[in-house]
Amino acid sequence: MPLLDRTGTYIPDSFSREAGANRALQPFDGAEPGALAIEVANTTAPESLVPFFGAEMIAIGFPAYADGRGFTLARRLRHLGYTGTLRAVGPLIADQFAYALACGFDELELPEAHAARQPESHWKTAARAFSATYQRGYARGLNILDQRRAARAGGTHG
Amino acid sequence: MYRYDEFDETFVRERVAQFRDQVRRRLDGAITEDEFKPLRLKNGLYLQLHAYMLRVAIPYGTLSAHQLRQLAHIADRFDRGYGHFTTRQNIQFNWPQLKDVPEILDLLADVEMHAIQTSGNCIRNVTADQFAGVAADEIEDPRPVAELIRQWSSAHPEFSYLPRKFKIAVTGAAHDRAAVLVHDIGLRIVKDSVGEVGYEIIVGGGLGRTPMIGKVVRDFLPKRELLAYLEALMRVYNAEGRRDNKYKARVKILVHEIGIEEFRARVEAEFAGLDKSTINADPEEQARIAAYFASPTYAALPASDPALEAQCKANPAFSAWLDANRFAHKQAGYAAVTISLKPIGGIPGDISGAQMRVVADLAERFSFGEIRATHAQNLVLPHVAERDLFALWQALGDAELSTANAGLITDIIACPGLDYCALATARSIPIAQALSNRFADPERQRDIGELNIKISGCINACGHHHVGHIGILGLEKRGEESYQITLGGDATENAAIGEILGPGLTAEEVPDAIERLVETYRAERLPGESFIAAVRRLGVAPFKAAFLQETHHAAA
Q: What is the pLDDT of residues A19-77, one digit of tens each?
A: 889 999 999 999 999 999 999 999 999 999 999 999 999 999 999 999 999 999 999 99
- Does B140 have pLDDT greater than 50? yes
* Average of per-residue pLDDT across B373-401: 97
Which whole number is the average pLDDT over B162-178? 96
| Domain B134-291 belongs in CATH node 3.30.413.10 | yes
Please, what is the angle between helix B389-398 and helix B316-325, to 10°? Answer: 100
Q: Are B117 and B153 in contact (CB under 8 A)?
A: yes
ipTM associated with this complex: 0.96
Nearest-CA distance B271 → chain A (Å): 12
CA distance B239 to A45: 10
Inter-chain contact B7–A148, Cβ cutoff 8 Å? yes
Contact B11 A133 (CB under 8 A): yes
- A126: which chain B residues are within 8 Å (Cβ-Cβ)? 18, 21
- The rounded distance, in Å, linking the Cα atoms of B387 and B522 is 36
pLDDT of residue A156: 52
- Closest-CA distance, A56 to chain B, in angstroms, reads 24
Q: From the list B11, B25, B29, which residue is nearest A130 (CB)? A: B11
Which candidate from B10, B161, B275 shows the least CB-CB separation from A131? B10
Q: What pLDDT sits at residue B98?
A: 83
The answer to whether A72 contacts B38, with C-beta atoms less than 8 Å apart, is no
The model's confidence at residue B553, banded by pLDDT at 50, 70 and 90, is low
Q: What's the confidence (pLDDT) of residue B26?
A: 86
- Chain segment B199-257, per-residue pLDDT in tens: 999 999 999 999 999 999 999 999 999 999 999 999 999 999 999 999 999 999 999 99
**A149–B285: do the CB atoms touch at under 8 Å?**
yes
B25, B225, B242: which to substitute to probe chain A, counting the most A Cβ within 10 Å?
Answer: B25
CATH fold group of domain B413-555: Sulfite Reductase Hemoprotein; domain 1 (3.30.413)
Shortest distance, CA A77 to any CA of chain B (angstroms): 12
Specify whether the backbone of B223 is left (phi greater than 0), alpha (psi in -120 to 50) or beta: alpha
Q: For B172-195, what is the mean pLDDT?
A: 96
The phi, psi pair for A25, rounded to 5°, reads: -100, 110
CA separation for the pair B29, B456 (Å, rounded): 37
Q: State phi, psi for B551 to the nearest 5 degrees.
A: -60, -40
Report whether pLDDT(A157) > 50: no
pLDDT confidence band for A142 (50 / 70 / 90): confident
Share of chain A above pLDDT 90, in %: 89
What is B6-110's CATH number, 3.10.450.240, 3.90.480.20, 3.40.350.10, 3.60.21.10? 3.90.480.20
Q: Residue B60's CB: how many other CB atoms inside 10 A?
A: 29
- CA–CA gap between residue B414 and residue B347 (Å, rounded): 8
β-strand pairing of B168-171 with B185-191: parallel
Q: Residue B49 pLDDT more than 80?
A: no
B38–A134 C-beta distance less than 8 A: no
In terms of Cα–Cα distance, which of B212, B205, B269, B200 is closest to B235? B269
**Shortest CA gap A122–chain B (Å):** 9
Is residue B460 within 8 Å of residue B452, measured between CB atoms? no
A62 touches chain B (CB under 8 A): no
Q: How confident is the model at residue B376 (pLDDT cuts 50, 70, 90)?
A: very high
Report domain B306-398's class: alpha beta
B48 in reach of chain A (CB within 8 A) = no
CATH 3.90.480.20 region(s) of chain B? Answer: 6-110, 306-398
| CB-nearest partner of B154 from A67, A69, A134 | A134
Q: Are strands B215-222 and A85-89 parallel, antiparallel or unpaired?
A: unpaired
Beta carbons within 10 angstroms of residue A71's beta carbon: 29
Which chain A positions have a beta carbon within 8 Å of B10's beta carbon?
131-132
Q: What percent of chain A has pLDDT over 70?
A: 97
Q: Label residue B550 by pLDDT band (50, 70, 90).
A: low
Interface subset of A 7-36, CB within 8 angstroms of B: none
Chain B neighbors of A75, CB-CB under 8 A: 158, 235
Q: Which of B31, B151, B235 sits opposite A72 (nearest CB)?
A: B235
CATH class assigned to A3-127: alpha beta
pLDDT greater than 70 at residue B43: yes
Tell me which chain B residues have a C-beta less than 8 angstroms from the C-beta of A133.
Answer: 11, 154-155, 157
Q: Which of B11, B121, B273 sits opposite A79 (nearest CB)?
A: B273
CB of B445 less than 8 A from some CB of A: no
Reported as a single tens digit per residue, the pLDDT across B459-506 is 999 999 999 999 999 999 999 999 999 999 999 999 999 999 999 999
Is a pLDDT exceeding 70 seen at residue B556?
no
Cβ pair B387, B81 in contact under 8 A: no
Average pLDDT, rounded, for chain B: 95
In angstroms, what separates the C-alpha of B151 from chain A's closest C-alpha?
6
Is A68 in Cβ contact with B160 (below 8 Å)? yes
User: In percent, how much of chain B has pLDDT > 70?
Assistant: 99
Which residue in chain A has the smallest CA separation from B7? Answer: A144
> Could you read off the pLDDT of B9-26 as tens digits, one per residue?
999 999 999 999 998 888
Interface test with B, best of A145, A149, A152 (most B CBs within 10 A): A145
B227 CB near a chain A CB, below 8 Å?
Answer: yes
How many CB pairs lie under 8 A apart between chains A and B? 118
In the stretch 96-155 of chain A, residues with CB closer than 8 A to chain B read: 96, 98-100, 102-103, 117-119, 122, 125-126, 129-138, 140, 144-145, 147-149, 152
The single-letter code of the amino acid at B136 is A
> Radius of gyration over alpha carbons of chain A, in Å?
17
At A155 the pLDDT is 67
